Amino acid sequence: MIPAPFTYQRAGSADEALELAADGGEDAKFLAGGHSLLPLMKLRLAVPEILIDIGRLSELRYIRDGWATLRSGTAGRSAARWRTPTPRPTCPPWSWPWTAS
């Protein structure tokens, strides 16, 4: 299976990504890694006309541990989150049991 045709755009910065999204309107979707979106596109459950790749934006790849919040950058990898120790063991996905080690 392959997705329906779309135009691939790679954003060079978060600001550019927002501009591309504004230009694309409802026809555009962001692509970080793609492991959720691309299977949906193969099944035609999602048919965006424009994909804006934000996967290389290091400014969106962070985990910030605040007093009452944990913020995970939208281009961060799940694997990085699982490897990050946190004082909040009840906060998914950090709470998944197999991430304890």
At closest approach, how far in Å is the CB of 26 from other proteins?
19
Residues that bind other proteins (CB under 8 A): 1-8, 10, 31, 33-35, 38-39, 42-43, 51, 53, 55, 98, 101
At closest approach, how far in Å is the CB of 83 from other proteins?
9
Whichever of 34 and 68 has its CB closer to other proteins, that residue is 34
CB neighbours of residue 31 within 10 Å: 22
At closest approach, how far in Å is the CB of 32 from other proteins?
10
Instruction: Quote the tokens at residue 72.
Output: 């995970």
**What gap in Å lies between CA 42 and CA 21, rounded to an integer?**
22
Whichever of 69 and 101 has its CB closer to other proteins, that residue is 101
